[in-house]
Amino acid sequence: MPKKAKGLLLSAYDAGSHRYWREGLVQYLAEYDWTVVTLPARYFSWRIRGNPISFLAEYSAELSRDYDFIVATSMVDLATVKGIFPSLATTPSLMYFHENQFEYPKTLNQPASIEPQMVNLYAAMSADSLLFNSEFNRDSFFAGIDRLMGKLPDYVMMSLSQTLASKSSVIPVPINDDWFELPRPLIREQCAPIKLVWNHRWEYDKGPDRLLGFISELKNRKVLFELNIVGEAFRQVPDEFRQIKNSFSAYINTFGYLADSQAYKALLTQCDVVLSTAIHEFQGVSVMEAVSAGCLPLVPDRLSYRQLIPVKYRYASNIDSPEQESIAAVDCLLKTYPSPDTALRTDFQRYSWRSLTAMYRSKILALLNC
């Protein structure tokens, strides 16, 4: 039996889609001998700047071995990791960008800092291959590099983004194959409430103010609807969620995080429409899962959704006016629902692991041939 190539998989902030993706990679590319090294998803600023120290403290033995290739997520300070561990210095490496630090919404109350951007940049420069989960992510990353180069005082490479782009590709985080096998109810009653699900992190960048406005607009127009607001909440929960719970309790079916994956899947198969109000989204795995389970999408006409979701399911984006955007979202909903679209669910199978595994395999084979 031929010896398996040894792969090191580094995830410096192992949350949400990062964990989802790397678990799928190990499962569907089982022909490789994987060593997986992860750090917990907390203390964001420290994690992105300090992950080489944390790796050294917790995984010195694992990172001192020899590997045939490295796959690292975009939070990893790959350039420093390669410097600290000599055995990794010349190992062919691939960076997978779930997000990039150049593209964050201006409304977030975070101090501006160039350091997270430089971590991304140096990692990209030190890797042999770059993968992005969406065209939006890739385009905004290279546009951010160009803006940065234009601000620096001297000795800059104005062609740096072009150099890095030449070794980049886009492959989305795939959806697990079993999502497409979930059964759907065959008949919907015409007078039944529209069953809506909003399934995102309970944070400001997912647009809770726009969610509140959308629900208010539905009620004002006397639309019959049922509300399911699920997703992970953290220490600081935006106040809009309290307002929604207090003011719209009569419409709420589910409110809170569903830790049981089967219960979550069952809920999505019962819902008609998956809603996004995000002002910050690099791919949108939760929306893609819901569509794969048979929901119709209702998303803003911006971000990665422009590449993923057909135009008739995208409502007019209005970053400066959540009120106008809520009106546009309800208009779009009433125009498209309840027309069935089984073809969309079928089309989304091109984002499954079954469809995309070969693309990932080809990227790793290219690394092994470096």
Interval 248-263 mean pLDDT: 95
Residue 141 banded pLDDT, cuts 50, 70, 90 = very high
The structure's pTM equals 0.93
**How far lies 319's CA from each of 105, 128, 249, in Å?**
10, 37, 27
Interval 283-298 mean pLDDT: 96
Percent of the residues in the chain that have a pLDDT greater than 90, as a whole number: 88
Beta bridge pairs of residue 7? 34, 69
Average pLDDT, the chain: 94
Beta bridge pairs of residue 169? 131
pLDDT above 90 for 337:
no
Tell me, yes or no, if the two domains 6-174+353-368 and 177-350 fold the same way: yes
Total residues found in the chain within this entry: 370
Type of residue found at 132:
F
Contact present, 254 and 230 (Cβ < 8 Å): yes
Q: How far apart are CA 152 and CA 142, in angstroms?
A: 16
The vertex-232 CA angle with 243 and 56, nearest 5°, equals 140
Helix (H, G, I), strand (E, B) or coil at 283: coil
Residue 105 banded pLDDT, cuts 50, 70, 90 = low
pLDDT above 90 for 118:
yes
User: Which position has the token pair 């709420």?
Assistant: 252
**CATH number for the 6-174+353-368 domain, one of 3.30.70.100, 3.20.20.70, 3.40.50.2000, 3.40.50.2020?**
3.40.50.2000
Percent of the residues in the chain that have a pLDDT greater than 70, as a whole number: 96
Residue 111 banded pLDDT, cuts 50, 70, 90 = low
Type of residue found at 206:
K
pLDDT, residue 25, reads: 97
Type of residue found at 264:
Y
Q: How far apart are CA 286 and CA 275, in angstroms?
A: 10
Residue 77 banded pLDDT, cuts 50, 70, 90 = very high
The vertex-109 CA angle with 138 and 274, nearest 5°, equals 60
Residue 107 banded pLDDT, cuts 50, 70, 90 = very low
pLDDT, residue 93, reads: 98
Is the alpha carbon torsion for 234, 95, 19, 352 positive or negative?
positive
Q: Residue 84: how many CB atoms within 10 A of its CB?
A: 17
pLDDT above 50 for 204:
yes
Interval 177-184 mean pLDDT: 94
Q: Would strands 33-38 and 6-11 be described as parallel, antiparallel, or unpaired?
A: parallel
Q: How far apart are CA 26 and CA 71, in angstroms?
A: 11
Q: How far apart are CA 94 and CA 87, in angstroms?
A: 16
pLDDT, residue 297, reads: 97
Helix (H, G, I), strand (E, B) or coil at 161: helix
Superfamily (CATH H level) for 177-350: Glycogen Phosphorylase B; (3.40.50.2000)
Backbone phi and psi for residue 150, each to the nearest 5 degrees, phi listed first: -75, -15
Under DSSP, the state recorded for 2 is P
Q: Which helix (H) or strand (E) holds 120?
A: helix 115-126
Domain ranges of the chain: 6-174+353-368, 177-350
Is the alpha carbon torsion for 156, 158, 163, 169 positive or negative?
positive
